[in-house]
Amino acid sequence: MSDARTGIRLSRRAALAGAAALVGSAALPAFADEKKVVVGTWGGDYARLLNKNIEAPFLQSKGIEVLQDIASDEPRRNKMIAEKRLPRGTTDVQGLSQLNVAQMVEVDVLEKLDYGKLANAKHILPQLRFDYAVPHIYSGLVVLYNPKLIDPAPSGIADLFEAKNAGKVGVIDIQYQWTLMAAALVGGGSMSNFEPGKAKLMELKARGVKIYPTNEALAQALKTEEIGLCVMWKARAVQWQNAGINVKTIAPKEGVPLYISLLAIPKNAPHKEEAYLYLDASLEPEAQVNFALDMGYNPVVDDAAPPAEVTARIGFNEEERSRLVNPDADYIVKNDAQLKDWWDKVFKS
Amino acid sequence: MAGGTALSDAALPLGRGPLEGVRERTSDGRPSLAAALAGPATVYVALALLLPIALLFRYGLNHFTPGNDLHWPLTLENYVRFFSDAYYVEVFLRTLRVAVVSTAACLVLGFPLAYVLARMQSGAKNFLIMLVVLPLFVGNAVRAAGWMTLFGSRGFVNAALIGGGLIDHPLVIMYTETAVLIGIIAVNLPFMVLTLQSVIEGIERAVEEAAQSLGAGPLATFRRVIWPLALPGTVAGTILTFILAMNAYATPVLLGGPKFQMMGPLIYGEFAQQSNWPFGAAISFILMSATIILTAAANLAAQRRYRR
C-alpha cells in the first residue's frame, strides 16, 4: 500500500499493527489509573447529600470523578457476592449498615481497612470503630409516639405491649430484625438472643398490631393517625417531625440499639486510592456537621460539633448515651434465615 | 367446523412453506439463507436466555453457603424444602389462584371490548385503541401507587362511601387479595384486548351474517361461530395474561402488603434479601415450570377443541 503524493509505502501488516495500536491507545484511558471513584449507595436524600456534603466539596473539587451506583443495599450486596471472583469489581465504596457489613465480612468481599491511610480516623468515636468499614453517621432506635393518641408519654419499648395501646401500634416488615431486637429487650432477651422477643411479638399480634411494608408506609399511617406508637430510628423521627407529622420520641429505658451507616471498600475495588480519599472525606468535620443538619443523624467523630439545638433534637444526653447498645451483628447474620422464616411464617401469617 | 379447517395447520402442509426452497443447503454446499437468517437470533437467545436458565438450574441444585459458591455434589434439598413446607405451597397455590382468576376476568371483560373495537368502522376506533393502550405508558409501580390513593382507609373509595352515607367505617381494601386482583386485571387487560381485537378483526363479518341468516341468534352466533374462530387469539391472549399474572411483582408488593405473598416477591426476597441463591433459583424453576406446563396444557386443550 502506498500514498502516491508522499511516496510512503505501507505494508498490510504495518497498517494492521498501526490500527491495532490506535485502538489500543483509545482504550487506554479505561484501564489507566484515572481519578475516579464509584460509590454504591442508597438513593434519595442520602445520595443527594453524599454529593452535596462529601463529593462536591472534597473530591470533585480536586478533579476526582465520582459516580454513584444507586440501589437499595440488597441488590448491591448480591452484586458484590456475584463479583467476588472477578479481579476488578465495579464499585469502589459501598454504603452499608452494620448488619450488612457483618454479612459482607462473612462472605469475604470487603477490604480490611488500612487506618494509616485515613487522616481523620483518629477522631472516630471508639465504640463506632470497625475493621472493615468506617462509620459515616449513626442514630438510635427510639420509641416514637403521637402525643395526641398516646397520653401519658411512653417510657420504653414495653409500652408497645400494653393492653391500653392495643390497635395503636405499627411495625415495619423490612425492619423485622430491629423489631425482633426491640421485642427481645422487653422479653428478657439480649442483643445476642432474640428468641424471647418472638413470644412478645406474638402478644403484639394478638392485640392487633399493624404491619407496614416500608418506613414510608408507616410514616403515612402515623400521619393519618391510623397508628400512634412504634419503634424507629431517631433520625427518621426528626425527618418526619420536619415533614409536619405530630410525633415525639423517647430513648427507651430498656436500651437504645445503635443504627450505624458505614462506608466500606470491596476487596476488588478498581480505584482503592480514591476510595480511601472518599472514606476520609466522609469523616471531615464539616461533612459530618452538614449531615447532622440536613438529615438528623449524629456525627461519628469527636471533632464535629453541630449547633447545640440540633444536637438536642437528634442526639442523646449523657444519661441516654449510657443506654446505647450495639447490636450483635454476627448473631443476626448467623440467625437471619431462621428469624426471617419465623417472621414470615408465624408472625405475619 | 368448516371455518376452523380453513385456518388450521392442514391448510399449510409441513414442508410446503415459503422457505421450502432455502430450507437446507444450496447447490454449492453453502449454509442456506434460512440458517443464516435464523443464526443471529438463535445465538442471541442461546446466550441471553438459555445459558442464564442453565446457570439458574445449576444453582437450584446447590447447597446454600453464605458466599453462594458452587460445589458438588448436587442436591434436591431446595426443591424438597419448597414442597414439604406448607407456607411455600400456599404461596404457590395463591399465585396460581390469582393468575387464574385475573386471567378469567381479563377474558370476560376484554372479549366484548375487543369485539366492539374490531367491528368499529368510525374514526373513533383509533382513539379508543389508544385509550386501551394508554395505561401501558405508565409503569406498574406508578399505577399501583394510584390504586393505593384510591384504596387506603382514607382514600377516595372509602371517603366517597363514607361521605355518601353508605358505610360508617372504612372498608379494608388495601393489603388484600381483592386489591391485588384489581391491580393485576388493570395491568393485564390491555394485553388481552389488543390480542383479541386483532384476531376478531380477521373473522369476516360475512361469516356472522351467514350464521344469522340461517337463524342463529346473537348468543348462538357467538358460541358456534365467533368463539371457535377466535379461539387461537383467545388462547394467545389468555397465555399472555396468565404468564404476566404468575410473574407479577410490583402489584402484589404494593397492593398486597406484607402479609400477602406471591411467587415473584418470594423469589426476590430469597435472592436479594436473604442472598439464598440456590433456594431462589429452585423457586424460580418451580414457577417457570408450572407456568410452561399449564400454558402448554391450555394450548393443547384448545388445539384439540379447535380441530373438532
> What integer pLDDT is reported at residue B25 of this predicted model?
52
Give the model confidence (pLDDT) of B59-90 as tens digits.
999 999 888 888 888 999 999 999 999 999 99
Q: Which residues of chain B have pLDDT under 70?
A: 1-31, 308
Inter-chain touch B87–A84, beta carbons under 8 Å: no
Q: What is the pTM assigned to this prediction?
A: 0.83
**Distance from B162 to chain A by nearest Cα, in Å?**
16
Looking at residue B2, what is its pLDDT?
Answer: 37
User: Distance between alpha carbon B84 and the CA centroid of its chain, in Å?
Assistant: 28
Q: Is residue B120 part of a domain?
A: yes
**Which of A78, A211, A224 comes nearest B275 by C-beta?**
A78
B131 inside domain? yes
Rounded CA separation A94/A83 (Å): 13
- Asked whether residue B63 is domain-assigned, the answer is no
ipTM score of the complex? 0.81
- Cβ of A349 and B259 within 8 Å? yes
User: Given pLDDT bands bounded at 50, 70 and 90, which one contains residue A29?
Assistant: very low
Each residue's pLDDT tens digit, A105-149: 999 999 999 999 999 999 999 989 999 999 999 999 999 999 999
A vs B, Cβ pairs < 8 A, gives 46
Q: How close A138 comes to chain B (CA, Å)?
A: 22
**Residue B203 per-residue DSSP state:** S
Instruction: Please give the residue range of the domain that contains residue B139.
Output: 85-307
Domains, in order of start, for chain A: 32-138+259-324 (3.40.190.10), 139-257+328-347 (3.40.190.10)
3-state secondary structure of A138: strand
The total of structural domains in chain B comes to 1
Would the pLDDT of A290 be above 80?
Answer: yes
Query: Residue B43: inside a domain, yes or no?
Result: no
In a domain, B61, yes or no: no
Q: How many CA atoms lie within 13 A of A167 on its CB side?
A: 2
CA gap A45, B211 in Å, rounded: 66
Mutate to test the interface with B, among A345, A346, A347 (most CBs of B within 10 A): A345
CATH label of the domain that carries residue B140:
1.10.3720.10
Q: Residue B4: inside a domain, yes or no? A: no
pLDDT band at A17 (very low <50, low <70, confident <90, very high): low
DSSP string of A259-278, one letter each residue: EEEEEE-BTT-S-HHHHHHH
CA A96 to chain centre: 4
Q: Cell numbers of B43, please?
A: 445465538
CA max distance for chain A: 99
Contact B81, B279 (CB under 8 A): yes
- pLDDT band with cut points at 50, 70 and 90 for residue A208: very high
- Distance from the B273 Cα atom to the nearest Cα atom in chain A, whole angstroms: 5
Contact: B67, A77; criterion CB under 8 Å? no
